[in-house]
Structure 1
Amino acid sequence: MSGGGRDLVVGVVGAAGYTGGELCRLLLGHPDVGTILPAVRDDRSFERTHPNLAGSGLVFTTVDELEARAVDLDVVFFCTPTGHAMLAARHYLDAGAVVVDLSADFRFADPAAFERAHGVVHAAPELLDEAVYGATELNRDLVRKARLIANPGCYALTAVLALAPLLDARGDGIHDVAVHAVNGTTGAGTTPKKDLAHAEVFGSMLAYSLEGHRHGPELEAVFGALTGHEVGVDLNTTHGNFARGIHLQANVRLTGPTSRAELLETYTRFYGAGHDGEFFVLVNDNARTGKINDKQYDLYPRLADVVGSNFCHLGLDHDADRNVVKVVAVTDNLVKGAAGSAIQNMNVALGLPETAGLRAYAL
């Protein structure tokens, strides 16, 4: 493959899954990537695993072979289950590669918090201090200097983008938030499960992990850092009968007055607008034109408008009678929620244009 100005050599560990395949798809279109090395632990065909990438010329290598080539890599992405990256990251870091971990292994600064959330003792706690939480829009300056980047979870990043402006502006009075999110079935991974078969999911929805989703503590850590105090997160998750995407609604009860107009001003000030704003975060500021209780759907973002893209669309409203702010956020769980944001972090860490390889709009 012929790259752009840099001809980067990029490894993808765990490349057989949905996220690994999506990383390969996006990297194939990146102007500065010259060589992609997708790695798996077994003997399988790349084109049979990812037939949408047939003709790309990519073939699987083994994890052992990729480790042997560590000194050749500019970047390595981990698309592995929790507990794997922490065992291998040091090898690639010592070889000089930037490591972007899409699992949860480096998302917590405190190893005890990681163990409470995931039930696993951290195998490389000495690396946690240098890991940067890769919510690029919030931590861009830290990502720019990082060599170990912890990509956020898909629910978590969507919720962070939905609530960061509000917590930044009104965080002193916010101690609890409720988040309700529906994810596509790709969020459950590639392991076959009867409940996720088409015949089971079609026309249905599947709630799960209501005892406390693992992304809840991740969000509480991020929101605590934003506000300087504890913020409880009630995270409720469901699989919808679609393959990819997240439709998230966050409800926050305020202690002081606000309005939709004020909220739009807060969010536009935080993310900017037009060419001067965050490229991948768009705030829906359509004016309300109907009477009370009119079903004006264009006030809020639609999931279909982000699928296949690295964009997050946000919509805002305010229930004045109850003083509840309601934020709607939509992302593609495989792109902005995983592979796209990982490449966005790679771009920033390597000094490339942040949008390189990611400017495609929704399908």
Structure 2
Amino acid sequence: MSKGIQAAVVGGTGYAGGEMCRLLLNHPEVTEIVPTARGDESFERLHPNLLGSGLEFADAEDVTARADTLDVVFLCTPSGEAMRRVPKLLEAGVRVIDLSADFRFADPNAYRTAYGAEHSAPDLLSEAVYGVTEINRDRLPQARLAANPGCYVITALLGLEPLLTGGFAALDSPLHIAAVNGTTGAGNKPRTETLHAEVFGSMLPYSLQGHRHAPELEDRLSALAGGAVTVDLSTAHGNFARGIYIQSSVRIRAELREELTRELLLSRYVERYGTGSGGEYFVRINDQPRLGGLTDKDYGRYPSLAGVVGSNFCHIGLDYDDKRGIAKVVSVTDNLVKGAAGSAIQNMNVMFGLDETAGLRSYGL
């Protein structure tokens, strides 16, 4: 890597693609960035925050043709497109990090169930490493293909992993997950419902019949828990541009409920993630002590969505309802950073043997 990392961003016109370019421009080891577009769009007109960056769009087919000159290709494409491109890219010897859903399931039948389409590269599904760095870090250095998780999924997984691997959850009860995404999660194609004038001062529930990320969540949470997990996922867009707010309710196993406290649960989270630079750098636990009386609104002991916007951090806080035996976990991320481009770069850093935090150390705005 004496010349630094040469990277392409296929699908550079959307929010995730623009965020990929923004973060890569600040990466100390990246020396070339090639974003792609389908038409003749101007890069700086579409991404005015990157005015003066010097980046220009290339054609995606040209990038595929010259893939052997690149080190890594990020695919910020709609579901169905990555599976068409990945075989040729891997054949050229370039490493691929896919931000779409195409390689998140090891079983092609699971993909068909979730997305209603056949997978055109099923032989590569078992090879793809699921890209939650904090969980699959050991598998990434050898990976040719990393499958980034969905933004809801990575936020929920990090929030729930210590409970499930610690054996706290009663698996015979559904995990109730209420998730709110910023309007960037709806993409940049204009729709009346997601216009600022429509969303401001409101909420926009969607996919309550069964969100496409629910099967991905159930698949990954079941693997962590060592048993089948049922997820009741409710989703909405909030009146903010970026961010993921997740509040999960987990029924605790009956034999553990009486003695359990918030402090004991927090100790499990600190044990799993550590604190600050002494553990998982990008996962921070809000362990502020309880202040005030039983009915006081003690906002400070739960994480704030505003605290992670613009960063690659996931902030986690929790409480315990001992009357009902339910743990309440709050996890927040920026959907465009930890939920997309930031986690992709974190995976790239590990794949190339770099400092995992390179280009990603900024705190929230």
> TM-score, normalising length from structure 2?
0.97
CA distance in 2 between partners of 1:90 and 1:117 (Å): 22
Which residue of structure 1 aligns with residue 304 of structure 2? 302
> How does 1:330-349 map onto structure 2 within 5 Å?
330-349=332-351
CA distance in 2 between partners of 1:209 and 1:346 (Å): 32
- Offset from partner CA, 1:250-293 (integer Å, 9 cap, x none): 00011222210110010000111232210000000000121001
CA distance in 2 between partners of 1:170 and 1:15 (Å): 42
**CA contact under 8 A between 2:72 and 2:95: conserved in structure 1?**
yes
CA distance in 2 between partners of 1:241 and 1:161 (Å): 24
CA distance in 1 between partners of 2:98 and 2:299 (Å): 37
CA distance in 2 between partners of 1:326 and 1:97 (Å): 42
CA distance in 2 between partners of 1:15 and 1:124 (Å): 23
Which residue of structure 2 aligns with residue 60 of structure 1? 57
Which residue of structure 1 aligns with residue 227 of structure 2? 229
Give secondary structure in 2 for the equivalent of 1:329: strand
Are 1:360 and 2:362 an aligned pair?
Answer: yes
Deviation of the 1:5 alpha carbon:
5.8
Moved more, 258-267 or 166-175: 166-175
> How does 1:197-208 map onto structure 2 within 5 Å?
197-208=195-206
Which residue of structure 1 aligns with residue 251 of structure 2? 253
| Match for residue 350 of structure 1 among 347, 352, 359 | 352
Structure 1 residues 242 and 90: CA distance shift in structure 2, 3 A: same
Deviation of the 1:142 alpha carbon:
1.0
Structure 1 residues 172 and 285: CA distance shift in structure 2, 3 A: closer
Which residue of structure 2 aligns with residue 322 of structure 1? 324
- Offset from partner CA, 1:308-362 (integer Å, 9 cap, x none): 0000000010001001000000100000000000000000011110000000111
RMSD of aligned Cα (Å):
1.1
CA distance in 1 between partners of 2:249 and 2:122 (Å): 34
Deviation of the 1:171 alpha carbon:
5.4
| Match for residue 92 of structure 2 among 78, 90, 95 | 95
Mark the runs of 5 or more structure 1 residues left unpaired by the alignment. none
Which residue of structure 1 aligns with residue 104 of structure 2? 107
Which residue of structure 2 aligns with residue 275 of structure 1? 277
Give secondary structure in 2 for the equivalent of 1:212: coil
Are 1:85 and 2:82 an aligned pair?
Answer: yes
CA distance in 2 between partners of 1:145 and 1:65 (Å): 27
CA distance in 2 between partners of 1:174 and 1:300 (Å): 25
**CA contact under 8 A between 1:307 and 1:362: conserved in structure 2?**
yes
Give secondary structure in 1 for the equivalent of 2:223: helix
Deviation of the 1:144 alpha carbon:
2.1
Deviation of the 1:10 alpha carbon:
0.2
Are 1:155 and 2:152 an aligned pair?
Answer: yes
**CA contact under 8 A between 1:180 and 1:248: conserved in structure 2?**
yes
Are 1:143 and 2:101 an aligned pair?
Answer: no
| Match for residue 239 of structure 1 among 237, 240, 250 | 237
CA distance in 2 between partners of 1:274 and 1:60 (Å): 38
| Match for residue 69 of structure 1 among 48, 66, 70 | 66
**CA contact under 8 A between 2:171 and 2:227: conserved in structure 1?**
no
Which residue of structure 2 aligns with residue 165 of structure 1? 162
CA distance in 1 between partners of 2:226 and 2:165 (Å): 10
> TM-score, normalising length from structure 1?
0.98
Structure 1 residues 191 and 141: CA distance shift in structure 2, 3 A: same
Identity %: 59
Are 1:44 and 2:46 an aligned pair?
Answer: no
CA distance in 2 between partners of 1:224 and 1:277 (Å): 24
**CA contact under 8 A between 1:174 and 1:252: conserved in structure 2?**
no
Deviation of the 1:6 alpha carbon:
4.8
CA distance in 2 between partners of 1:270 and 1:173 (Å): 20
- Offset from partner CA, 1:229-262 (integer Å, 9 cap, x none): 1100011000000000011100001122221011
CA distance in 2 between partners of 1:286 and 1:5 (Å): 45
**CA contact under 8 A between 2:104 and 2:148: conserved in structure 1?**
yes
CA distance in 2 between partners of 1:5 and 1:233 (Å): 46
**CA contact under 8 A between 2:170 and 2:251: conserved in structure 1?**
no
Deviation of the 1:165 alpha carbon:
0.5
CA distance in 2 between partners of 1:116 and 1:275 (Å): 40
For residue 233 of structure 1, what is the amino acid of its counterpart? V
Structure 1 residues 34 and 125: CA distance shift in structure 2, 3 A: same
Give secondary structure in 1 for the equivalent of 2:31: strand
Deviation of the 1:172 alpha carbon:
6.5
CA distance in 1 between partners of 2:284 and 2:275 (Å): 8
CA distance in 1 between partners of 2:159 and 2:345 (Å): 21
Deviation of the 1:73 alpha carbon:
0.9
Give secondary structure in 1 for the equivalent of 2:354: coil
For residue 347 of structure 2, what is the amino acid of its counterpart? N
